[in-house]
A and B are shown apart, each in its own frame.
Chain A
Amino acid sequence: MSAGINGHAIAAIYKFEMNRTFRTIWQSIAAPVLTTTLYLIVFGAGLGGRISPFHGVPYGAFIVPGLIMLSVLTQSVANASFGIYFPKFSGTIYEILSAPVGALEIVIAYVGAAASKSLILASVSLATAFLLVPLRVDHPILMLMFLTLTAFSFSLFGFIIGIWADGFEKLQIIPLLVVTPLTFLGGTFFPISVLPAAWKAVALFNPVVYLISGFRWSFFSQGDVNIGVSLAATLGFLSVCLLIVWRIFQTGWRLKN
C-alpha cells in the first residue's frame, strides 16, 4: 500500500456494501421502485388526467422528477446511515478503525456505495416513468448532474446520521420525521407557486424545494426557483455535510473512545 489513497480498501468496502444490496435485492431495489411506480400509476396515469397541466406539462410527467427525488433522498439517507451504523452496532467497526484507512477512503466507499444504489433506483424509476407517462428531458446532462449531486449529498447526510445514531430508533427518526415530510412539502406533487403567498415564503426555507425545483428544471426547463440558486443550494448542502464528516473523523466523535 502506498502512503497515499488506500484504493484496495475503498474497493473492499464498496464491494461489501454493494454485495449487501444485491443480497437483499427485493428490499433494496425492488420495493422502492415499486413504491415509485405505484405513485406514478395512482397520481400520474390515474388522477393525473383530471388535473390541469402546469405550464403545459401534463401532471403525470410533472410529478416524475419529484418522485425520483423522493426515492433518491430517502434511499440515500437510509442506505448510507445503515451502512455505517450496522458495523457500529455489530462491533465489526473495530476492523475499519484499526485498518490503514483514512476518513476520505471510508467516506468515498460508504457514500459511493449508497449513492450508487440510489442512482440504480433512479435509473429504474426513470425507465418505468417513460413507459407510464409522456415524459421529456430537456437537459439530460444537467439532470444527471443534479441526480448524482443529490445522491452523494444525501448519502453523506445519511452517513452522518449513521454515525450519530446510537440505536435503531434514532436511525429512523431523521428519514421518517424530517426528510420525508420535507420532500412531500417540497414540491414533489405540486409547484410551490400554487401555495398562498405566506406558505410560499415558508416553503422557501425548505432545502428540498431547491433540489426538486432544479431537478424538474432539467426535465421541463421550468422550476419554482432559479436553476442557479438550486445548484448553489445543493452544493451548499454538500459542503456542509463534508465539513461535518471531516470534523467527525478529526475528533473520532461517536466512533472512538
Chain B
Amino acid sequence: MASPIISVKGLNKTYRTGFTALKDVNLDIERGEIFALLGPNGAGKTTLISIICGIVNPSEGTITADGFDVVRQPRHARSRIGLVPQELTTDAFETVWNTTSFSRGLFGKSPNPAHIEKTLKSLSLWDKKDSQLRTLSGGMKRRVMIAKALSHEPEILFLDEPTAGVDVELRRDMWDVVRGLRESGVTIILTTHYIEEAEQMADRVGVISKGQLILVEEKTELMHKLGKKELSLQMAEPLAALPAGLEAYALDLSSDGATLTYTYDTQQERTGITALMTALQKAGVRFRDLQTKQSSLEEIFVSLVHQGDRR
C-alpha cells in the first residue's frame, strides 16, 4: 500500500493560555482521497490544519507531508500544500490576476500565465481578472482564495470551511471543482459544517471533538456501520395507544396515532422486522403504507459528538 501523503502522529497543541486545542491526534491521509474533517465549533479543526500548514507551532508530535517533516523540512513540505483558509482575507486593492500570480511566486513557481488563466477560468473568474478584490462579492472572493491556493499546483489542498456563506448554486459549482481536482490527482482535506458537503464528496470522514479525533472511517462504511434504519408504518386507522403484545419492540407511536415507527440496526443478525409484522397481525393492527429511512451523516455526527461529550 502506498505511504500516506499526510501522516500525523501524537500531535498535541496547548496554547500559552493553557488551552489544549489538540490531544494526541493520529491521522493518515491517503493519496488522492477527499477527507472530510467534521466537528463542532472550537473542536480543533482549524488548529490541526494550521499546524500541518505551518501557521501554528505544534507542542508535541510529528507531521509529514509527502514524506517531509513539516517542522524540520518546511520548504519541501509546504511547497506541496495549498491552503484555503476559513476567513476571507484578501488584499483589497489588488486585482484577481495579480493576487493569484503573487501566490504562485510565493510558493516558488516560475510565472505561468497559461496556468493562471486555466485556474481562473475553471473557477469562473476569468472575466473578473482585472477587478480589484474589494469590488467582488463574498462568493467570488472565496473563489479567488481557491484560485490562489491552486495557482502553485499543490498536491495537497486544504479547504477550511470552503463553502461557508456561499449560496447553494455556487456551493454545487465548488463541489464540481473539488471533484475535478481529485480526478487530477490532488488530495483534498476539507473541514465543513455542512454535513451534506461531506456526504456528497468525502471518501473518508474524521470526527473531531474537544481536540480529540474520535473517529476516522470510510464514509460509506461509517454510514453502514452506525446508520440506524427506521421503518415507518402508516396506520389504516389512527391508534389511541400501542396495542398489547407489542411492548417488546422499539416502537414509537406518533402523537396523532397515525404513524408507528420501528428503529432497527442493519448490522444485527436479525432486524426483527418479520417478527414485528407477525406481532402486528396478531394484534390486529392494519396499515396502509410503509417506508424505510437510513440515518444521514448529520444524524451520525451528532450522535458521535454527544457520545464523545458523555465520555
Residues B93 and A1 in contact, CB atoms below 8 Å apart: no
Chain B positions within 8 Å of A200 at CB level: none
Number of A-B contacts (CB under 8 A): 89
Of the candidates B55, B81, B91, the one whose C-beta lies within 8 Å of that of A94 is: B55
Residues A12 and B106 in contact, CB atoms below 8 Å apart: yes
The interface size of chain B toward A, counting residues with CB under 8 Å, comes to 36
Complex alpha-carbon distance, A97 and B89, angstroms:
14
Of the candidates B57, B77, B78, B104, the one whose C-beta lies within 8 Å of that of A256 is: B57
Residues A91 and B15 in contact, CB atoms below 8 Å apart: no
Q: When A90-B89, A98-B53 are in contact, do A8 and B105 touch as well, CB less than 8 Å?
A: yes
Interchain nearest-CB distance for A107 vs B (Å): 15
Specify the chain A residue showing the minimal Cβ separation from B17. A257
Q: When A1-B109, A252-B57, A257-B57 are in contact, do A95 and B103 touch as well, CB less than 8 Å?
A: yes
The interface bits of chain B over 74-92 (1 if a CB of A lies within 8 angstroms of the residue's CB, else 0) are: 1111110101010101111
Complex alpha-carbon distance, A99 and B217, angstroms:
31
Complex alpha-carbon distance, A101 and B98, angstroms:
19
Chain B positions within 8 Å of A15 at CB level: 102, 105
Interface: A33 (CB within 8 A): no
Residues A99 and B110 in contact, CB atoms below 8 Å apart: no
Interface: B148 (CB within 8 A): yes
Residues A95 and B79 in contact, CB atoms below 8 Å apart: no
The interface size of chain A toward B, counting residues with CB under 8 Å, comes to 28
Specify the chain A residue showing the minimal Cβ separation from B87. A91
Within A11-42, the residues touching B (CB, 8 Å) are: 11-13, 15-16, 19-20, 23
Complex alpha-carbon distance, A94 and B56, angstroms:
10
Complex alpha-carbon distance, A157 and B189, angstroms:
40
- Most chain B beta-carbon neighbours within 10 Å: one of A15, A20, A99, A257: A99
Interface: B108 (CB within 8 A): yes
Residues A9 and B105 in contact, CB atoms below 8 Å apart: yes
Residues B106 and A13 in contact, CB atoms below 8 Å apart: yes
Complex alpha-carbon distance, A95 and B102, angstroms:
10
Main secondary structure of the interface of A (DSSP, over half): helix
Residues B91 and A99 in contact, CB atoms below 8 Å apart: no
Interface: A194 (CB within 8 A): no
Residues A9 and B108 in contact, CB atoms below 8 Å apart: yes
The interface bits of chain A over 83-103 (1 if a CB of B lies within 8 angstroms of the residue's CB, else 0) are: 000000011101111111110
Chain B positions within 8 Å of A131 at CB level: none
Specify the chain B residue showing the minimal Cβ separation from A9. B106
Interchain nearest-CB distance for B234 vs A (Å): 54
Chain A positions within 8 Å of B93 at CB level: 20, 23
Q: When A94-B85, A98-B78 are in contact, do A11 and B57 touch as well, CB less than 8 Å?
A: no
Interface: B264 (CB within 8 A): no
Can you give 7 A-B contacts (C-beta < 8 A)?
A1-B107, A16-B91, A23-B93, A94-B83, A95-B83, A99-B108, A257-B16
Further contacts, 11 of them, CB under 8 A, given A23-B93, A100-B75: A1-B79, A9-B107, A11-B105, A12-B106, A92-B89, A92-B91, A94-B55, A96-B106, A98-B53, A98-B54, A100-B79
